Structure 1
Amino acid sequence: MRIFLILLIISSAQFFAQKTLNPGTVKLESKYIKDEISNAVWYAQKGDQKMEIGKITNEVKKVDKTTLLIKTSVKMNQAPETTWVDSTLVKISNFEPIYHSSYNVMRDMRFKFEKNKVTGYYLDKKTQKKDNIDEKVSVQYFDSNSYPGLIRFLPLKEHYSTEMPIYDYNPAAKKGVIKAYIEDVNKGELNGKKVWIVKATDDIQDRKTIVTYYIDTVTREVLKQDIDSNGRKMVMETVK
């Protein structure tokens, strides 16, 4: 009886434990990965009221047979003359990071991802302080800019959960390999379409920011994102 209870406890712990996802273990539903451009409106939300704060263009493009470009361009309403641009290159087969660049009015950064090493720089435009990066990494990981784009290509099912190592560099927060988490997946409906409702977070802000994705079950298009950042609520809605 005692042995049976021990085995039951061990098997239950294994059943409920989150499985770690990385480029070596990920199984993508690659039929959904294709060239596309989508647009979204970004709102700040307070109660039932929404105020537009910006517009976002997302581009996914197969550069060649092995490489995928994920590019995000953001125009904020308060600064319409400038565009924030993030570009990431990953391997199509497993989203292993290759390159990431980010340019906006506050900072520039550029990273090259090689086996066991990350090189590049981070430039704070306000202080003109430039950090040169040459860092050894001993684990497999995703880029922090590409993992949100990875979520919709995972084999989603109800109550799916996982954690994944991601590389992020932010002098004001955390640097290096940290974790992102898919906390839960449920079926739902949005504007007459069946969707996967995916709740995700990460260690960039100590899991204080929760993003809920509404993903079309047929096309895997992200129709909407609800963002709760430490009590501040925002919404991103895809538009045609």
Structure 2
Amino acid sequence: MRIFLILLIMSSANFFAQKTLTPDNVKIESKYIKDETSNSIWYIENGTHKKEIGKITTEVKKVDKTTLLIKTSVKMNMSPDIPWVDSTLVKISDFQPVYHSSYNSARDMQLKFGKNKVTGYYLDKKTQKKDNINESVSTEYFDSNSYPGLLRFLPLKEHYSTEMPIFDYNPAAKKGVVKAYIEDVNKGELNGRKVWIVKTTDDIQDRKTIVTYYLDTSTREVLKQEIDSNGRKMVMESVK
């Protein structure tokens, strides 16, 4: 009887466990993918006080029948003339990464993604040190810049959780494939609209940063993001 119970518990755990999500097995709800431009305000919160620190514009565009562009431009209030611009190309069918570029006042970076290799460069503008990137990869993966966009197009359900390999390059932190995690998904309401509340984290910051997304259930529009990191809280709120 005891052995039967142990086997039952083990089989139940396996039944409810989520597979690791990769481009090889991901299911994309493509009906939500369309050309769009959205804007949001970036705030930092301190108790009940909220201070605007920047503005964000996100563009999603089908480049052709197979490729999707996700482009984010950030203008910080302290330096509005020097935007941060990140552009990512992925395959529409499975979000397999193709290309990623990132330009800001601190560094420039370009990555070209292959099945088993990532190439490109990373330029630190302060030191003028340029790293040539040539990283071997032995697993399927997403780009660390595109997986937040992927969340919008997954077949979400309550209490869904999974992990996914992502490629990230940061000489001051981690290089190569690490993991991102969807920790929980719940239904909720925000300003009278029904939303999916998606809680995520990743290994880039050793799971110390929690990002929560509020996605409109009917359009998958990102209405709000909350970032909690080491006692510091930031919020991005969608504006028309």
Q: TM-score, normalised by structure 1?
A: 0.98
Contact 1:200 1:212 survives alignment (8 Å): yes
Give, in angstroms, the shift of residue 16 of structure 1: 4.2
Q: Distance in 1 between matches of 2:2 and 2:198?
A: 39
Q: Distance in 1 between matches of 2:192 and 2:2?
A: 52
> 1:137 is matched by which residue type in structure 2?
V
Q: Deviations over 1:11-70 (max 9, x none)?
A: 132134342000001001110000000000000001111000000000000000000000
TM-score, normalising length from structure 2? 0.98
- Superposition map of 1:1-240 within 5 A: 1-240=1-240
Q: Extract unaligned runs of 5+ from structure 2.
A: none
CA distance in 1, matches of 2:168, 2:18: 21
Question: What amino acid maps onto 1:225 in structure 2?
Answer: Q
> Secondary structure at 1:10's aligned position in 2?
helix
CA distance in 1, matches of 2:76, 2:18: 37
Distance 1:18 1:174 in 2: 25
SS class of match (2:204): coil
Alignment root-mean-square deviation, CA: 0.8
> Contact 1:69/1:89 (CA < 8 Å) preserved in 2?
yes
Q: Counterpart of 1:185 in structure 2: which amino acid?
A: V
Q: Which residue type is aligned with residue 104 of structure 2?
A: N
User: What SS class does the counterpart of residue 194 from structure 2 fall into?
Assistant: strand
Shift of the alpha carbon at 1:3? 3.6
Q: Tell me how many residue pairs correspond in the alignment.
A: 240
> Stretches of 4+ moved more than 6 A in 1?
none
**How far does residue 135 in structure 1 lie from its aligned partner after superposition?**
1.3
Query: Which structure 1 residue ranges, 5 or more long, are not aligned?
Result: none
- Alignment check: 8 A CA contact 1:19 1:161 kept: no
Q: Quick check: 1:84–1:104 contact (8 Å CA) kept in 2?
A: yes
Distance 1:182 1:4 in 2: 32
**Percent identity (aligned):** 82
